[in-house]
């Protein structure tokens, strides 16, 4: 049950070098929200190449060259789409059949408008999602967001609100604890307790997040259902589906109802679809969707929920029934036609199919990273996996950053004076740098609430210890990652564990190098430009991330910019010959990770750490990807010609080219 609205999560990204294989950090946004562009560095390379070409043409033809061809950009909608439902009354169980045609015309104008809009959104017809992006100097190549993307964005927005409320609740709990310990009466000291309402009642953050974003609307509202074939009362003939509501059945899988169903949650959401005339997407799959079994689900089509009623089912218990009718023009498919692909998380190494390396980190990481290959015959392992000989033909696995000999890292910042763990954002100096709050919540071992220009973590000179929440990105790998071979993209990475949105996945590790050192390198797929500054300034058409205006760094930005007329990333991370698991993470036009610049020791943004965080709740075995952020036609080969690389990410809205 999802509603749709906008959200853009930004990221910094990797790029290839000299046309071929350079990863750059500057891309932004997770798939849907912005232009892809070349890094300033790539632009400079392009300008150089153009200049050379121009001179050549002048010599050849004794005339001026066309030096100003504009880079093609893909502008993807940044418009907000709101479909906000409000709490609906709960109904009785024994309901007369009500059809959408019979819905009483007593809804006010606002609700009526919302209904109209909701229906359009669900059908992907809402015109507002085709608004062009911000860069007025380029003719917008408008790409309409798919319904799928809109749902994803809505979930991201929900996750952001959810994490904000988790933080609020965590503060409330801390305040209660501190309040209990604090001396009362005359001895009471002011300033011990954070300013939160300790008497306030706990309320589930997820429910709060829903009501915040959707308070004016009827809620819950279903946008998709999974036809699982798990209910004995289902009737499914492709055009007309009689769908049984949720709950009350035997969870052993024998399809038996053992209790009455109640008009709540999914059942209420579908009733609201009838009342509001909002269509739902039908997905054919299996009940265990929610257990992340790795099966593939197939989108069937859009259906109108035309009617609902309650009746006694085969086993004599009350079940809710919904009649769904396929909208005209939608393709047909029945559950029996769907081919499931089973992907199961192995319980032990002996269960791993296609195992070619037990741990590519050779024991360096706390959690081993196996590599599997079910593609090649004979199966090869990633080149770093030759620990027996100690020789590495390709690259060497390293879990922490190596620094090139000609780079001197800045001195570490003074840090905060907190003891043990940091908890009061008013007194913690590091929290103040983040806009007087901690960027993370404690839940699930630390989750980033939202993408920022830069995250300031506690570091070597801080009084707190490693368990401090403001060191979330410093705690090493948490999830069981696997490197696996793909047919078209080489190696790729996935997780065996569920990864919640905002959780740190890994840092991009390699050799910290000056970018100029790599100017002559033509074949390196693993270079990541550290260009947080460009993202912060919104240069090259980049969207700026939300950031607290009190940040000293932001206030000094104009000065920084004056000093550097050309904002070219000065440093990069080269994971070509040494690196960690991040070097195997592929690009996707619809990624589930985003890049976040983090400062945890010194405060020089040009040398920030590059972290990958989960942008979504990521189920096990889903490939982990981020947006490399290439502008099309921004990559040049040594011959000065534009290089092109096909993208095989497989996303619905894939733009078909990596660069």
Ligand X SMILES: C[S@@+](CC[C@H](N)C(=O)[O-])C[C@H]1O[C@@H](n2cnc3c(N)ncnc32)[C@H](O)[C@@H]1O
Quote the least distance from Cβ 291 to ligand X, whole Å: 28
Instruction: Report the residue number, 553 or 654, with the smaller CB distance to ligand X.
Output: 654
Which residue of 160, 489, 545, 643 would you call a contact of ligand X, by CB under 6 A? 489
- Which of 197, 281, 185, 216 shows the shortest CA–CA distance to 84? 216
Q: What are residue 505's phi and psi, to 5 degrees?
A: -100, -55
Q: Give how far the C-alpha of residue 604 lies from the chain's centroid of Cα atoms, to the nearest Å.
A: 26
Stretch that binds ligand X, among 199-207, 213-221, 262-270, 581-589 (CB under 6 A): 581-589
Q: How far is the CB of 640 from ligand X (least distance, A)?
A: 20
Residue 495: CB minimum distance to ligand X, A: 16
Pick the stretch among 76-84, 103-111, 456-464, 641-649 that binds ligand X (CB under 6 A): 641-649
Q: Which of 162, 479, 491, 508 binds ligand X (CB under 6 A)?
A: 491
What distance in Å separates the CA atoms of residue 529 and residue 517, rounded to the nearest whole number? Answer: 12
Q: Where are the beta strands (DSSP E) in 346-498?
A: 355-357, 371-372, 396-397, 402-403, 440-441, 447-448, 455-456, 481-486, 490-495
CA-nearest of 412, 403, 401, 408 to 603 is 412
DSSP, res 29: S
Residues 586-605 that bind ligand X (CB under 6 A): 586-588
Positions 498 through 557 that interact with ligand X (CB under 6 A): 525-526
Beta strands in 525-592 (DSSP E): 527-529, 571-574, 578-579, 586-587
Q: Quick one: which of 360, 512, 533, 658 contacts ligand X (CB under 6 A)?
A: 658
CB 245 within 8 A of CB 258: no
Which C-beta is closer to ligand X: that of 322 or that of 526? 526
Distance from CA of residue 635 to its chain's centroid? Answer: 26
Q: Site for ligand X (CB under 6 A): which residue of 7, 17, 21, 478? A: 21
What is d(CA 577, CA 334) in angstroms, rounded to the nearest whole number?
50
Q: Does 17 bind ligand X (CB under 6 A)?
A: no
125-164 footprint of ligand X as x/- string (CB under 6 A): ----------------------------------------
The residue number with the shortest CB distance to ligand X is: 490
Per rule CB under 6 A, count of chain residues that contact ligand X: 17
Determine, following the binding rule CB under 6 A, whether residue 649 of this chain makes contact with ligand X.
yes
Give SS3 for 116: helix
Which stretch in 203-211, 287-295, 339-347, 644-652 sits in contact with ligand X by CB under 6 A?
644-652
| Of 221 and 527, CB closest to ligand X | 527
Q: Is 584 in the site for ligand X (CB under 6 A)?
A: yes
Residue 513: beta bridge partners?
572
- 648 lines the binding site for ligand X (CB under 6 A): yes
Least CB distance to ligand X at residue 484 (A): 10
**Segment interacting with ligand X, rule: CB under 6 A, options 57-65, 358-366, 502-510, 579-587:** 579-587
CB 302 within 8 A of CB 330: yes
Within its chain, how far is the Cα of 241 from the centroid? 34
Radius of gyration for the alpha carbons in the chain, expressed in angstroms and rounded: 27
Contact 497, 480 (CB under 8 A): yes
CB of 575 to ligand X, least distance (A): 7
- Indicate which single residue of 67, 253, 460, 490 sits in contact with ligand X (rule: CB under 6 A): 490
| Residue 489: CB minimum distance to ligand X, A | 4
CA distance 296 to 269: 24
Q: Where does this chain bind ligand X (CB under 6 A)?
A: 16, 21, 23, 489-491, 525-526, 583-584, 586-588, 647-649, 658
């Amino acid at each position: 049950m999802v509603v749709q609205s906008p959200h853009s999560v930004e990221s910094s990204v990797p790029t290839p070098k000299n046309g071929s294989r350079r990863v750059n950090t500057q891309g932004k946004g997770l798939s849907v929200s912005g232009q892809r562009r070349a890094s300033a560095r790539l632009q400079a390379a392009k300008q150089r190449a153009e200049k050379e070409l121009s001179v050549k043409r002048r010599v050849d033809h004794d005339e001026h060259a066309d030096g100003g061809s504009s880079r093609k950009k893909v502008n993807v909608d940044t418009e907000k789409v709101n479909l906000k439902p409000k709490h609906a009354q709960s109904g009785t169980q024994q309901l007369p059949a009500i059809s959408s045609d019979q819905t009483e015309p007593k809804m006010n104008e606002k609700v009526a408008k919302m209904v109209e809009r909701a229906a359009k959104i669900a059908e992907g017809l809402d015109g507002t999602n085709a608004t062009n992006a911000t860069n007025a100097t380029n003719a917008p190549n408008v790409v309409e967001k798919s319904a799928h993307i809109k749902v994803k964005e809505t979930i991201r927005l929900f996750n952001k609100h959810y994490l904000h409320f988790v933080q609020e609740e965590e503060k409330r709990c801390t305040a209660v604890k501190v309040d209990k310990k604090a001396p009362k009466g005359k001895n009471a000291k002011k300033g011990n307790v954070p300013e939160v309402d300790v008497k306030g009642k706990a309320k589930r953050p997820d429910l709060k997040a829903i009501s915040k974003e959707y308070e004016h609307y009827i809620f819950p509202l279903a946008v998709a259902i999974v036809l699982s074939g798990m209910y004995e009362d289902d009737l499914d003939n492709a055009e007309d589906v009689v769908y049984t509501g949720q709950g009350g059945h035997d969870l052993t899988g024998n399809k038996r109802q053992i209790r009455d169903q109640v008009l709540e949650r999914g059942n209420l959401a579908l009733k609201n679809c009838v009342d509001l005339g909002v269509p739902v997407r039908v997905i054919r799959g299996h009940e265990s969707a929610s257990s992340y079994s790795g099966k593939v689900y197939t989108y069937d089509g859009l259906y109108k929920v035309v009617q609902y009623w309650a009746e006694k089912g085969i086993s004599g218990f009350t079940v809710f029934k919904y009649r769904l009718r396929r909208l005209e023009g939608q393709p047909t498919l029945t559950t029996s036609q769907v081919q499931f692909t089973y992907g199961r998380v192995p319980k032990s190494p002996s269960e791993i199919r296609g195992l070619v390396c037990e741990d590519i980190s050779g024991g360096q990481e706390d959690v081993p990273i196996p590599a599997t290959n079910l593609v090649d015959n004979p199966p090869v392992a990633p080149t770093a996996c030759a620990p027996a000989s100690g020789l590495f033909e390709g690259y060497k696995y390293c879990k922490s950053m190596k620094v090139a000999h000609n780079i001197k890292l800045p001195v570490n910042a003074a840090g905060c004076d907190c003891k043990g763990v940091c908890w009061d954002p008013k007194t913690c100096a590091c929290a103040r740098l983040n806009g007087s709050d901690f960027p993370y919540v404690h839940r699930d071992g630390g989750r980033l609430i939202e993408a920022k220009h830069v995250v300031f973590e506690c570091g070597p000179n801080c009084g707190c210890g490693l368990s401090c929440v403001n060191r979330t990105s410093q705690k090493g790998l948490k999830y069981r990652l696997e490197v696996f071979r793909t047919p078209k993209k080489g190696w790729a990475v996935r997780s065996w564990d569920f990864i919640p949105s905002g959780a740190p996945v890994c840092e991009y590790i390699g050799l910290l190098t000056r970018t100029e050192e790599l100017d002559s390198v033509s074949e390196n797929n693993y270079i990541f430009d550290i260009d947080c500054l460009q993202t912060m300034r919104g240069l090259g058409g980049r969207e700026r991330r939300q950031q607290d205006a009190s940040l000293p760094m932001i206030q000094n930005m104009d000065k920084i910019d004056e000093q550097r007329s050309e904002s070219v990333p000065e440093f990069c991370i080269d994971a070509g010959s040494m690196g960690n698991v991040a070097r195997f993470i592929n690009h996707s036009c619809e990624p589930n990770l985003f890049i976040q610049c983090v400062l945890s020791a010194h405060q020089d943004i040009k040398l920030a750490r590059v972290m990958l965080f989960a942008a979504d709740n990521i189920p096990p075995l889903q490939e982990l990807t981020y947006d490399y952020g290439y502008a099309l036609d921004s990559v040049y080969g040594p011959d000065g010609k534009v290089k092109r690389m096909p993208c095989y990410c497989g996303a619905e809205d894939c733009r078909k080219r990596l660069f």
